[in-house]
Amino acid sequence: MTDPMIIAGGIASAPLVLETTKRLLGPTLDLLGDGIKNGLANRKSNISKVAARADAKADTSEPGAIPPRVAAEVFDKAQWADDEFVTEYLSGMLASARTPAGTDDSAVSWTALVGRMSADQLRLHYALYTALRAKVAGKKFDNISEWESKEVFVGYSDLRLIALGWDQEFFVERLVEAAVGLAREGLITQLGHGSSDFLARVWSPTRKKALPDGQFGFLVFTPTSAGSVLFLRAHGYRAHSGVLAEAELDVSYSGDPQDAPGAINSYWVEDLPPFNPPG
């Protein structure tokens, strides 16, 4: 990672571009340039917040340790974790890496994944898998694939008003871009999105299916093992994807409850009634 001091030094040594840089970076320049001392304080605060949440998620009643590679990777990314969901996920990566021997560094790759995901993507991932968790928790399945192969859909209105809290302007654009990012990382698959009419007439999984009223669009996806495991890691668990269905699993949000996504309605596509177009 580039040291902010190098960036700050470069800006200071090139005063002719300072005005352009200010216009481009906005307040971020204060963290990297003139306000580097305050910036360092903020970075340390972010690291402390991630560590505190990780401590709350990990079982520290027994001796254990976190591999240095994991700690270094998490704290490097924690410096800039101003978003609550970035903090939530990074703290889970740190907590899930704590073992009695302290030699399991598998969280390194999951931390790298979190580090390249946007805050929007993390929030959407959390909302979708919280909804999935509500559908499978405590239910008996002969095989994980029984629910990992099922298409799930959620409404735009539910996501906007309950789960994500984004501004209405450009909501759909942000939502779809975040969903495409999740699909690119293999955290969801068979992604579809659009109006109920479009999905009922064109999109294969939902074609000739009647979608619920009261939504101005829907997101359709199939969960993946990677998506489930990342959700479990975010809560401090080092476990296979099937654990997501265990009834006693604690997947409560560890930050301010006001920042947590609310419960959203989700549906199995296979349970939808047939779509009967008028006329």
Per the CB < 8 A criterion, the answer to whether 92 and 85 are in contact is no
Q: Vertex 105, ends 101 and 108: CA angle to 5°?
A: 155
- In order of 134, 151, 255, the CA distances from 267 in angstroms are 11, 8, 27
pLDDT digits (tens, 9 = 90+) for 179-221: 999 999 999 999 999 988 888 887 777 777 788 877 889 999 9
% of the chain with per-residue pLDDT over 70: 85
Per the CB < 8 A criterion, the answer to whether 33 and 8 are in contact is yes
Burial of 35 (C-beta count, 10 Å sphere; 0-12/13-18/19+): middle
Contacting residues for 70 by C-beta, under 8 A, at least 6 apart: 93, 94, 97, 105, 107, 108, 111
Per the CB < 8 A criterion, the answer to whether 29 and 21 are in contact is yes
Q: Give the pLDDT mean for 58-87.
A: 91
Which pLDDT band holds residue 6 (cuts at 50, 70, 90)? Answer: very low
Question: What is the separation of C-alpha 46 from the centre of its chain, rounded to a whole number of angstroms?
Answer: 18
Q: Which residues of 49-79 are buried (b: 16+ CB within 10 A; e: fewer)?
A: bbbebbeebbeeeeeeebbeebbebbbebbb
pLDDT digits (tens, 9 = 90+) for 90-144: 999 999 999 999 999 999 999 999 999 999 999 999 999 999 999 999 998 888 8
